[in-house]
Structure 1
Amino acid sequence: MSEYEIVFGGVAAERGWRDLKATAKNALADAWDYLTVHPTQFDSSRCYQLKGNLATVVVDGKVLPVWQYKVTDGARLRYAVDEPNPKTKKQGRVILLEASPSHPNDTDPSKNFR
């Protein structure tokens, strides 16, 4: 059993996941394995926490950290992590906020004009 379950944060994230499944099935399976075991483990080449105004999001009244996982050179998963609670035996959740077959503009330095 994994320590984290993956849930969709919205219809757009679910649709993006389906699109990625159609175009990058093996890479998405690797992402699933990674996110259900250790979604907050930094990996400079694949997984990292976002910074600045993208670093957190409020889900169900809780402020959660936001991470991004590089599925392919272009495709990204953006997600929030609700940590497990061993005292209450509550499983952790990875809330998928965005699944995109292309690099999101707001984290692409060449397209970010802020």
Structure 2
Amino acid sequence: MTLGKGDPVPPPPGKGEFEVKFTSRSAAVGWLELCRQAPGNTLDAWLQMRTGPAPVVPTPRHHRLKGDLAIGTRNGKTYPQWQIEVTGGGRVWYLFDENAATCWLVHAGTGHPKRTE
């Protein structure tokens, strides 16, 4: 399966769920690597984005990013940017577009993102 920019993260959302889409090919590649290395944790992250992408009570493993990373831009619009810690180093970053009921997967990777260091 080849996944890339703009593609939805399979399968399609159920009733009341949020859609998850890739913003880039590199996010898709990183997602597939997370699926390979930590399938259970990646499934949990996917479920969190589908059912509760902006938790009222954030946790250390699922929270909004801070500072310059708290907001991300897509197609000229700004959105809150969230992070899910999938593994000790693996992270998923996504923009939450509540109006479109979509999480835009910006980054997925098995190593800690250098932008946060």
Range of TM-score over shorter length: 0.7 to 0.9
2:93 corresponds to 1:78: yes
| Equivalent residue, structure 2, for 1:69 | 84
Matches within 5 A, 1:35-74: 35-41=49-55, 42-74=57-89
**Paired AA for residue 65 in structure 2:** L
Larger radius of gyration: 1
Q: Which runs of 5+ in 1 are unaligned?
A: 85-90
**Paired AA for residue 50 in structure 2:** T
SS in 2 for 1:53: helix
TM-score by length of 1: 0.83
**Structure with the greater relative contact order (CA < 8 A, sep ≥ 6): 1 or 2?**
1
| Equivalent residue, structure 1, for 2:113 | 104
**Paired AA for residue 48 in structure 1:** H
Q: Percent identity?
A: 34
Q: Which runs of 5+ in 2 are unaligned?
A: 1-13
Tell me the CA shift for residue 55 of structure 1.
1.2
Tell me the CA shift for residue 60 of structure 1.
2.2
| Equivalent residue, structure 2, for 1:88 | none
Give a deviation string over 1:61-86, Cα, whole Å, max 9, x none.
211011110111111001100004xx
Match among 82, 90, 103 for residue 94 of structure 1: 103
Q: Structure 1: which 4+ aligned runs deviate by more than 6 Å?
A: none
TM-score by length of 2: 0.81
Match among 18, 38, 45 for residue 4 of structure 1: 18
What's the Cα RMSD here?
Answer: 1.3
Q: Number of residues paired by the alignment? A: 102
Contact 2:82 2:94 in 1 (8 A): yes
Contact 2:58 2:64 in 1 (8 A): no
